[in-house]
Chains A and B, each alone.
Chain A
Amino acid sequence: EAQVTQNPRYLITVTGKKLTVTCSQNMNHEYMSWYRQDPGLGLRQIYYSMNVEVTDKGDVPEGYKVSRKEKRNFPLILESPSPNQTSLYFCASSLMSLPLWEQYFGPGTRLTVT
């Protein structure tokens, strides 16, 4: 089954404790992206990657890191989480082929930082 998976699905942590949210896709997609969703703000892009070892900042990259060492995986790293990073996080992937370029989303990770 074609899918994007994220782990963990729920996480409660404390300020300053490093954490990693994993994202994996089995569709051989070149493009992967992380978004955060906050009430009333829609989705905002954190980082994206157009291929292995190619990453770039989205609209809200502060406080986050990513890496793309393998095509299928795109982990999101919070080196020192803060309460303002409490949010719902989505990973997405897609082929790079235009003009359609349709993204497929993972199930989401709800993060609470206390």
Chain B
Amino acid sequence: ELKVEQNPLFLSMQEGKNYTIYCNYSTTSDRLYWYRQDPGKSLESLFVLLSNGAVKQEGRLMASLDTKARLSTLHITAAVHDLSATYFCAVSRDSNYQLIWGAGTKLIIKP
């Protein structure tokens, strides 16, 4: 059974600091997604990672994938208040059109 675990589930940090959110999954998978959700809003796609060693960056966010370790990380550089949101990772089962989601990491960045 495919399971996805995110750590931490809650993170409060100061502006200007760096931090990393971790996403572990239990079995092999073809692709890994990162989504962002603002309070009371829908989900917005951030990154899709398709292969081992894949790295994607947008602004202060950088996502990477290690398929051998079954681990993805979302790194935040010099955090700003606007990045406060809940971040979800989700993993697709091999050759299957289903997504299994992590519980989400609620990130609060204090000015």
Contacts and interface: CB of A to CB of B under 8 A. Distances in A.
Contacts of B103: 40-42
A43 B97 contact: no
Contacts, number: 52
For the residues of B in contact with A, the DSSP-based class is strand
Given A40-B9, A43-B90, A106-B42, A99 B31 contact: yes
A103 B101 contact: no
A42 B9 contact: no
Residue of B33, B42, B44 contacting most chain A CB atoms (<10 Å): B42
A62 interface: no
| Interface size classification for chain A | 20 to 34
A99 B50 contact: yes
Interface string A66-105: 0000000000000000000000001000001011111111
16 contacts: A31-B97, A40-B103, A41-B103, A42-B90, A42-B103, A42-B104, A43-B43, A48-B97, A90-B43, A99-B30, A99-B50, A101-B31, A101-B97, A102-B45, A105-B43, A106-B42
Interface of B: 4, 9, 30-31, 33, 41-45, 48, 50, 88, 90, 92, 97-104
Interface of A: 31, 33, 40-45, 48, 50, 58-59, 90, 96, 98-108
